[in-house]
Structure 1
């Protein structure tokens, strides 16, 4: 199987509220709009908020959206000032990442992550030439 692109599709119970959350509160840039939906850029991925295809009740979401941010402390301050409830305050995890948890209006968990400069994700593990 060859996958050419991908995106996460959310079908919220309250489309206008969820659309405003991703567009205005999180300030994600719009990749594409169409009648009944908006696709947002989310780093290297895409998130589609769709008003169609749902039942008017949010679909259970057993995963989480993972967004890397440059400065987690500044992000937390910005979101608190916008009235976003912080589900779990920013802290360093045992695996070395700094994480904070919020949720969208339908309760979809969103993990905001800052990767420290010395974390293995940032280090080049290849041998020096």
Structure 2
């Protein structure tokens, strides 16, 4: 199998409220719009808000979180606070070395903004020299 592209598809309870959150409060750029939906750039990924269709009746909320890497999580926290985004958990360094900030979208989906320090294993080249 060859995957050519991917995105996360969200069907918010209130499309306009989520459109305002992702577009204005988070400041994500629009990749494209179509009747009933908007796709935002999110680094190397895309976040699509679908104003059409609904989650299946009785479906549990999104079980995970969106992990969004940023250059400076503390500057991101200040920016989001200034835009009125409620902070669930302030930015801090975790025991595993990453700096994380937690916010929630209008439907309660957790967005984890992550800064990876220069000395963290995620930044190391694990390939062996040959």
- Partner deviation per Cα, 1:10-42 (whole Å, 9 max, x = no partner): 111110010011111111111111000001111
- Partner deviation per Cα, 1:69-128 (whole Å, 9 max, x = no partner): 111111111111111111011111111100010000110100000000101111112345
Length-normalised TM-score, structure 1: 0.92
Alpha-carbon distance in structure 1 between the residues aligned to 2:117 and 2:107:
30
| Pairing of 1:1-129 with structure 2 (within 5 A) | 1-54=1-54, 60-128=61-129
Q: CA RMSD in A?
A: 1.8
1:59 shift after superposition:
6.4
Q: Which runs of 4+ in 1 moved over 2 A?
A: 125-129
Alignment check: 8 A CA contact 1:67 1:112 kept: yes
Length-normalised TM-score, structure 2: 0.91
The runs of 5 or more residues in structure 1 that have no matched partner are none
The runs of 5 or more residues in structure 2 that have no matched partner are none
- For this pair of structures, how many residues does the alignment match? 128
